[in-house]
A = this chain, B = another copy of it.
């Protein structure tokens, strides 16, 4: 067991700030690394030290492992927090940290590697007794094998890239006639995106919800869960609104899904914070999708309803400390919703980097804002478009929605386009308000909007 004096944050933007806040609360010094494009970023300002590690593109800087490690060496840090994205799920990076005697704040490299391979992860989960969707246990060897399997599972099926994510290399196939073409396209996409054409096929669930369980595990075999997040509101497989608890879960189902996630983590020797993602069908059956071996963008909704600080727990268990609480000590209070404020066109989702000319952060009861934005900040075009996470908390879901509407109304971000008007539209949507939605929500939302005359009709930007 060690005590970290100084941590390097190998990330940028809101999550780098988020991690700095907790380090400050724990009395740990922080080192920010940044590209030349991020000299004026808040994480650079609020960290105790800052090192420029390269040019503006991610590959020159935030993905540049030698630069990050060299920055860690010259600042003599004890540990690196990778945040999400960039190097967060690189088992190679985690190994290098280990080799350099710098603690990687996350699970062991072999666990990252295992969970990063969809086929291997599926196998491990099956062995742990976690329900998985009927489908191929191994990468498909031929189209014939795939067809036979699809027939066995029953249509519709989905073809996925083994190394995939974010919707690339995915194809839904509803009839056998479509199969050949879909499989070829998926293989091409997979090869282009992930340098591996390996595919597998599984049952396609029609109106599923994306429900994920937040887990916390230490290096001594203790593991608990902090309940679920419902992340079904997605566009192009990117989450944009998340909430906790899920409107679809009963306490009994929550307990079952939580116990399943914990069992999965125990099985693979997981430590640190992690997320087990499930597909939940309309009958309350849930199936393992994947495990994210890092802090997630949407972790604040869980923090709001549990009062836990997930980053603090990551750091404590990385120091080798046992989890300080047991499953029965976990609180669940109220309801929380997060809206991702992206610098993009709310209708076309085209990125909208540039100068923030006017800015007002909402405050008051039950509002949390995680951001690195400020008036005068220039959103660079090189990185993802997330500029702020607006999170609300209230005793009930109804008040949480009202609060989010209010917070969106008084949040001012000018000079660039943002997703604020889109979120305002969703908060007014009767299906969202009723909690009746699946991962197809955004698609259906835009269809309804089109019928009603477009987003502009309800006050879009």
Contact = CB atoms under 8 A, between A and B. Distances in A.
A24 B367 CA distance: 14
A363 B333 CA distance: 20
Given A25-B403, A333-B333, A410-B46, A368 B370 contact: no
Interface string A377-400: 000000000000000011100010
A26 B402 CA distance: 7
A49 interface: no
Contacts of A27: 402
A24 B424 CA distance: 14
Interface string A258-273: 0000000000000000
Contact of A21 (B307, B333, B375, B410): B410
Contacts of A399: 25, 309, 312
Contact of A331 (B333, B360, B361, B374): B333
A308 B21 CA distance: 26
Contacts of A363: 361, 368-371
Chain B CB within 10 A, most for which of A18, A405, A406: A406
Given A334-B307, A395-B308, A22 B365 contact: yes
Contact of A25 (B303, B369, B406): B406
A63 B261 CA distance: 60
A364 B374 contact: no
A3 to B, nearest CB: 15
A427 B231 CA distance: 38
A409 interface: yes
Interface in A54-83: none
Given A333-B333, A368-B367, A410-B46, A405 B361 contact: no
Nearest to A299: B365
Q: Size band of the A side of the interface?
A: 35 or more
A303 B365 contact: yes
A300 interface: yes
B307 A395 contact: yes
A402 B24 CA distance: 8
B375 A25 contact: no
Interface in A4-58: 17-18, 21-22, 24-27, 46
Nearest to A406: B24
Contacts of A405: 24-25
Given A46-B410, A402-B26, A368 B369 contact: no
A152 to B, nearest CB: 47
Given A25-B402, A403-B25, A405-B24, A364 B307 contact: no
Interface in A324-352: 331, 333-334
Contacts of A361: 361, 363, 369
Interface string A296-310: 000010010001110
A409 B364 contact: no
A24 B368 contact: no
A83 to B, nearest CB: 14
A18 B367 CA distance: 12
A134 B11 CA distance: 63
Contacts of A333: 307, 331, 333
A364 B331 contact: no
Contacts of A370: 363-364
Nearest to A410: B46
Nearest to A398: B25
A371 B399 CA distance: 21
A365 B309 contact: yes
Nearest to A360: B374
Contacts of A406: 21, 24-25
10 contacts: A21-B406, A24-B409, A303-B365, A303-B366, A307-B394, A363-B369, A363-B370, A366-B368, A367-B368, A368-B368
